[in-house]
Structure 1
Amino acid sequence: MPRVAFKMQLFKGAGEEYKKRHDKIWPELCDLLKKAGISDYSIFLDDTTHSLFGVLKAEDPQALDQLPAQEVMQRWWKYMADIMESNTDHSPVSIPLKEVFYLP
């Protein structure tokens, strides 16, 4: 299954709040992600740079392009926009990463 990796940026001092919000992630958001074929989704935080690193498996990476149109995704982005770098549509600034090594 293809893996997708990306990085995002938190505002300084927002690490605890980011974790707190994800500890109580909305069930309807989890359902949407699973229905989109996403699994093994993790986000890691570098406390020194406030950078987030996300990695997930996607049955069909093209299906991820449909997520921004979903109402629950838009609500989540608005909910998170006050603690991280965001675009004008409230989506997080997300930079795709290229895989350079993998040990299966």
Structure 2
Amino acid sequence: YVPPRGACPTCGVATDAQVEVGPRGTVTTFCIVNIKAKNLDIEVPYVYAHIALDGADLALHARIGGIPYDRVRMGLRVEPVWTEGGRFPDHYRPTGEPDADYDSYKELI
């Protein structure tokens, strides 16, 4: 869980270890959203993606920004963009690194 929660939100069992991950990661899969959501001030279309943070064995989901929606791709390397006082990243943007090799994230799709 990012950020750490101390217990599983489903079963309540305490988490017994923390693993340092990210902050950068790899887009494992994504979708292009074309319908404006209520209470969300984001222009459509936008991209929502599963991102495998470096060192994690699960992907989390987040919005991708800083790149045209039609240039997002599997393997894209991304980093978080924070807003002041935010607990979670506002979105993730490309790092400029070469795309990750498919074999490095295929188990996380």
Q: Tell me the TM-score range normalised by the shorter chain.
A: under 0.3
State TM-score, norm by structure 1.
0.26
Higher relative contact order, chain-length normalized (CA < 8 Å, sep 6+) = 1
State TM-score, norm by structure 2.
0.25
